[in-house]
Structure 1
Amino acid sequence: MSVLSVLLILVVAFAIWFDWNMIKPYVERQVTEKTGREFVIGGDLDVKLSLNPLVSAEGLSLANADWGTQQPMLGVDRLQFRISLLDLLAGHVVLPEVSVSQPKILLEKSADGKRNWDLKKEEKEAELPKIGKLTLDRGIVFFRDPKTKTDITAKISTDGAADAREASINVSAEGKYAGLSFAAQGQGGGVLTLTDETLPYPIKAKVEIGTTRAALDGTITGLAKLAEMDLQLDMSGEDLSALYPIVGIVIFPSPPYQISGRVLHQKSEWSMEGFSGHVGESDLGGSILFDTGGKRPMLRGDVVSKVLDLNDLKGFIGARRAPQPQDTPAEKQEKKASIEAQRDRLLPDQKFSVERLRAMDADVKFTGASIRNKDLPVEHLVSHLKIDDGLMTLDPANFAVAGGNIVSNLTINARKDVPAAEARIDVKRLQLPKLFPKVELTHGAAGVIGGSTRLKGHGESVGALLASADGKFGLVMSGGEISEMLLAALDLDAAKLIKLLFTGDKNVPVRCAVIDYDVKEGIMDSKAFVIDTEKTIVLGEGHINLAEETIKMKLSPQPKEWGFPSLRTPVHIAGTLKKPTVYPDKMLAIRIGAAVALGVLATPAAALIPLIELGTGEDANCRALIASVKQPQPAQPSRTQTKKKSNN
């Protein structure tokens, strides 16, 4: 036997009987130095020699950061891989087979934003090995971020395809995201393509976060950093405002919705082109762009609803939301109590989310091409919403109503803790018969209504803003005709109503109708309330308290001609704005009582005297009244300011 043969036998014998555990300290030390974290091989280290030696190691662990919640950051029950010696001699690391059994990875952030996966950096980036077949058995990844209230556990496995670049990843996850319940099922592309930041990585998944559900199918380039994205997204949920903690986009509360579209992402921009869907009973479509690259995120959009139900916009003005399935028992009880407290009130008292108005900027155009609403004769809506560092403007909000327009400009300044608001509303050429389409007595009427409202206030809700409002409110109608029966009903003239029921209704020319209120600290005082026809003038007086939501008005008819018989009497409107009551003045009872008394005590003819109208009413100065409404009034001091001046 030659010396070379003996040496070869000794080398083989050494390799076969060598205890590879003896080099564990060296391997552990090398990995620890390169990562900056303690690396331990707790089990056996073994190598089976061949042209592709099989290396196996058990009980591997890599320590977590010092501030981490638990140790280790990485744990693997068993790792096996084959290494190609021929490729290694050529300077390339090729692993024909890799098998990882029960890996556990803990990824977490600290409260101040540190990441435990930021390891010690090498001066020169190491070249990743080429892997053939990859098997991942029962892997678990934990992700925790206390700042965003996120704690997710994901189970990961592979299909075990022949090529690791084609072996797809299967993921199932659950836990909490942004404090909401989280569940997901998904499938990704090849394992190794995850590390290639230049290749689009295919992904298909279904996700549920709270009451928000999403299905996505497409590609993500640079998965770790979400460098680029091209996804088909189908999303649905109970409330659009629930998207804020998930994606940071501020949307007003809404009814249940469903939206589909193509999501594109590059750099700091996220866009959804040509999306479509519905919110409540309204359809929705258009394009939106969300840019996170500025000082604050910016939302731009052009949204169109072909058929809009106004009830779906109640959340925009702060309507109360019913308890939702994801609410805690305490939250559900609080919402129920809030709804009960609001039951007898008309004005929304839901507080504005000031922090959300400050969280992002916006420039969104919205068009409601056709309006569906059974109570209001609204035809379409055009609006433009802007938010700039907590300053929200709605300019315009143009409603096509009853053949005319109601053009609004609203500003809410939420840069301070208590928002301040200013509203300008112009009413242009509303047609009387179209304004009350369900009231038969207005079908034959004619007349065009206009007016303006100017209000300023402060408060944390729509109700609070109006309760503190200063300004004016006015409506006018010049010319036209109204039903004589409607006028008699307004006068509570029972005798004329009975007569018209037999002779038939007819229209009465209107000289003018003017409603003019001064508003101070939420109290609307009637400056002028006049309905002037050729035969009768109706004068109103009283006030509306927006803080208490009460009304106290008196309408007094004054005929311009002698009339008999007549039971015309003043009318009182009182109670709450939501449930007002209408009742006749006590004068009616006095007149009836006087007629009965005279008929009993005097003669039957004398009983007719209280039923005679003397016709003392006079024409109103319509031109001056209308001019008063149309001309802007100087700002009046509030009651608080007046009291302060009087005390000085």
Structure 2
Amino acid sequence: MDATTIDPRRADVQDGRPPARSGLGANVLGAGFSLLATLIGLILLAWAILFVTKGRFLKPYFEQIASDQAKRSVKVAGDFQLYFDPITIKFRAEGLTIANPAWAERKNLFESKLIDTRIATAPLLFGRRRLNWLELAEGDLDFEWDQEGRRNTWTLGDPTRPGEAFEMPVIRRARVSGTRIRYRAPQMAFLADIKVETVRARDTQFENDIRFSGGGTSRGRPFTLSGSLMSPNETVAGGRNRLALHGAGAGNVLDVSGTLPGATEIEGADLKLRVRGPNMASLMQFLGATMPETRRYRMSANLTKQGESWRFTGLRGTFGDSDLAGAMTIAMPRNRLRIDADLRSRVLDILDAGPWIGYDPERLDRMGASGAIVHDGGRPRVLPDAPLDVAGLKRFDAHVDYRVTTVRMEKFPVSNIGLTLDLDRSLLKLSPLTFDVAGGHLASDILINARARPVHTEYDIRLSPTRMGLLLAKFGVEQSGTTGVVKARVQLRGDGDSVHESLANASGRMAFIMPAGTFWTRNVQLSELDIGTFVQKMFEKKLKNPVEVNCGLIAFTVRDGIAAADPILIDTRKNVIKGRGGFSFKTESLDLAIEADAKTFSLFSGQSPVGIGGYFAAPTIDPISGELVARAGVGLGLGVLVSPLAAIVAFVDPGDAESTRCGPVLSGARASAQREQSGDRVKKLGDGRSARPDAPKKERKKFLGIF
């Protein structure tokens, strides 16, 4: 065979070279195209079969698969269709029912005469549910939580699985008729039953008007709800839906208006909220939260939804005679309600702050400041006894920052309140709670532990040096002649569900310290307890010179709600003032005896005790004590029997009181540490044990009507 007869296709083999790859690649590529064409063909065939048959033959498979996945019965009583039309998923079912778990009140979670939808295919591939169209006729939806608030009816699958938050699919356009939606949350004592209908709109700008109305109860209080959602023709092309909602309950009236991106698409909504009512606490109950009661309020805010959070921005309004502004966010992280707020008031009326600690807002609104006083068995009582809503605190968490510029009140100049509130599973912290008063600064930390019963409260209140001239100006103290200051520390802890109850069994210490300074009053004053001064001021209304204070301490040891002086000791240029007795948080009664020993000779000196009695809400002062009256009687008798000069002897004070060492006084030390300049212990001081039942019998006396 010559060269001309050699097969060119085998030449590369004969000369030892591998075959060309171009043919192999073409074969692989061709096979790939063939496979793809086959798949497309099969898809088109399946699409065609489904389109022609409307997928009716899938009905038993749908019921079986859906029931297995939901772990409950899913049935279609009538016609069933499931196919692509042309690329969106067409789903139609007549008489569709989805059963509820056995613990629910209603038999079915969902049932309807007809449900007809167009489901967007592309978003579904990425886990997003969007219905371009929904028609629902005579639907009945039952959303329930169990008694413990752990499981719900709409979380499908494992019946023991904890309930998840409901995620509404995005519905671009809808027509609904004869449909009811029921929501029940027994753990929140909440029930709502809403009817939804689509009404043909007369306004040609809108294709239809989805209207809803109904009501329910929240913690035993009925409410009503109504509104409409008007869907424009261009919704599918990216238009927006106009929402109007009106609700009323427990005297509260709520209106929401604005636009939604889709019929059920809240994300990015542009809404305006307006709400008003007699008490903001009753409004918060609808959310399952608790807050202090308020006087009548009116609020407005911009409302939108971002992720899982509802945001209230531009919040502005009033409660009582105070203003309120700021922002608030409500969310449900891990299926637990959480409220975050940043609020501020330019002016806070003191009456509006009263309900925060338990005063009745209706009494305050009707009676003013006197509404804080109630009478119990003929005794006036001022400490609030409204119980803390312990059950309410368990249902939510919160973080609130609140700032107040000015406080409107009659007696004390208070401003610049700053409050940080944290609530974490029934542990409530008001820390710090601060404000400026009379040029001084008060800082406090209050912890309320409601995780166990009884509720345990700890108070720690600190007052920086504050000018008494400003602090007590409304009580008759002259600012221009008063240089004295006062600083204080109160540390108490007690158990109980109200302020009164927690203080009624509290223990701890209270101390008010006065460094050197002057004190001057415009009206009758008893600080020196000098009878000559007292008589002079009763008629002349003023002193020629202010009282000069070297140091002073007014302190009490508190045991089981009884505060005993420990000590009351004020050293002035002229006198050493001492006090005994105390007061009771239980009965709010006062029983104090104050007396002054003169350092220098004085004809008219009140060596006898001045009594301070009555109650917190109605104190009494008795500067003419029984002992002093007896001395006056002796003086009168001597004057008649001997001579007028002898009558004065009964009022003469030899002036032998010794000055006090100010070190222990200014350190807030207890009575046992107080010393005279000579080093001797200061006598006749309340030592914090006056009210104790184990006091020596000869020293015991009836104290505060208890012992």
**TM-score category (smaller protein):** 0.7 to 0.9
The 10-residue stretch of structure 1 (338-347 or 299-308) with the greater mean CA deviation from structure 2: 338-347
Paired residue type of 1:190? S
User: Using the alignment, how far apart are the partners of 1:637 and 1:222 within structure 2?
Assistant: 71
Tell me the residue number matched to 2:21: none
2:655 partner SS: coil
Q: Which residue of 1 aligns with 2:654?
A: 614
Instruction: Tell me the SS of whatever aligns to 2:633.
Output: helix
After TM superposition, the structure 1 = structure 2 runs for residues 500-539 of structure 1, keeping only pairs within 5 Å, are: 500=537, 501-502=539-540, 505-506=543-544, 507-539=546-578
Question: 1:440 matched to which residue of 2?
Answer: 476
Change in Cα spacing, 1:253 to 1:403, as seen in structure 2 (3 Å) is same
**Structure 1 residue 483 displacement after superposition:** 2.7
Deviates most, 353-362 or 216-225: 216-225
Q: What SS class does the counterpart of residue 562 from structure 1 fall into?
A: coil
Structure 1: state its 5+ residue gaps: 1-25, 42-59, 82-97, 120-127, 325-335, 644-648
Residue 320 of structure 1: CA displacement? 3.5
Counterpart amino acid of 2:471?
A: L
Distance in structure 1 (CA, Å) of the matches to 2:566 and 2:135: 86
Native 8 Å contact 1:228 1:267 kept in 2: no
Match of 2:668? Answer: 628
TM-aligned CA deviation for residue 289 of structure 1: 1.9
Q: Identity over aligned residues, as a percent?
A: 23
Q: Counterpart of 1:370 in structure 2: which amino acid?
A: T
Q: Is the 8 A contact 1:214 1:234 kept in 2?
A: yes
Q: 2:223 aligns with which of 166, 182, 186?
A: 182
Partners of 2:180 and 2:237 in 1: how far apart?
21
SS state at 1:497 partner: helix
Picking from 486, 489, 508, the partner of 1:452 is 489
Assess, with a 3 A threshold, how the Cα gap between structure 1 residues 534 and 175 changes in structure 2: closer, same or farther. Answer: same
Q: Aligned letter for 1:388?
A: D
- Distance across 2 between alignment mates of 1:461 and 1:197: 58
Q: 2:192 & 2:597 partners in 1: Cα distance?
A: 74
1:532 is displaced (CA, Å) by: 1.9
Q: Residue type of the partner of 1:549? A: E
Alignment of 1:148-167 (within 5 A): 148-154=189-195, 156-160=197-201, 166-167=207-208
From 455, 459, 463, the counterpart of 1:419: 455
1:499 corresponds to which residue? 536
Match of 2:331 among 291, 299, 311: 291
In 2, Cα distance between equivalents of 1:615 and 1:571: 18
Number of the residue aligned with 2:442: 406
Name the structure 1 match of 2:581: 542
The whole-number CA distance in structure 2 between the counterparts of 1:483 and 1:462 is: 35
Is contact 1:421–1:458 with CA below 8 Å preserved after alignment?
yes
Q: How far apart in 2 are the matches of 1:625 and 1:323?
A: 42
Query: How far apart are the structure 1 equivalents of 2:487 and 2:549?
Result: 15
Supply the distance in 1 between the matched residues of 2:214 and 2:234 (Cα, whole angstroms): 21
**TM-superposed deviation, 1:604:** 2.2
| 1:264 pairs with 2:300 | no
- Structure 2: runs of 5 or more not aligned: 1-56, 67-72, 80-93, 117-133, 158-169, 365-370, 674-686, 695-707
Which residue of 2 is the match for residue 312 of structure 1?
352
Q: Counterparts of 2:689 and 2:648 in 1: how far apart (Å)?
A: 50
Judge conservation of contact 2:511–2:668 (CA < 8 Å) in 1. Answer: no
**382 and 591 in structure 1: CA distance in 2 versus 1, 3 angstrom threshold:** same
Alignment of 1:593 with 2:633, yes or no, is yes
Residue 479 of structure 1 and its aligned partner are, at CA, apart by: 1.5
Closer, same or farther in 2 for the Cα pair 1:508/1:311, shift >3 Å?
same
Distance between the aligned counterparts of 1:417 and 1:451, measured in 2? Answer: 31
Of 350, 359, 381, which residue of structure 1 is paired with 2:386?
350
Q: TM-score, normalised by structure 2?
A: 0.68
In the alignment, which residue of structure 2 is the partner of 1:554?
A: 593
- TM-score w.r.t. structure 1 length? 0.74
CA distance in 1 between counterparts of 2:521 and 2:350 reads: 33
How much has 1:473 moved relative to structure 2?
A: 0.8
Q: CA deviation at 1:189?
A: 1.9
Structure label with greater radius of gyration: 2
Displacement after TM superposition at 1:458 (Å):
2.1
SS in 2 for 1:606: helix
- SS of 1:272 mapped into structure 2: strand
Q: State the SS of the aligned residue for 2:650.
A: helix
CA contact (8 A) 1:492 1:569 kept: no
C-alpha deviation, 1:605, in angstroms = 2.1
Q: Say yes or no: does 1:483 pair with 2:516.
A: no
Q: Deviations over 1:464-510 (max 9, x none)?
A: 22122222111111111123786853455443333354595231221
CA RMSD of aligned residues (A): 4.4
Distance 1:376 1:131 in 2: 61
Q: 1:190 to 1:32 in 2, by over 3 A?
A: farther
Cα pair distance change 1:486/1:563, threshold 3 Å: farther
Match status 1:580 vs 2:619: yes
| Aligned-partner residue type, residue 554 of structure 1 | A
Deviations 1:274-298 (A, max 9, x none): 2111121111111122231246433
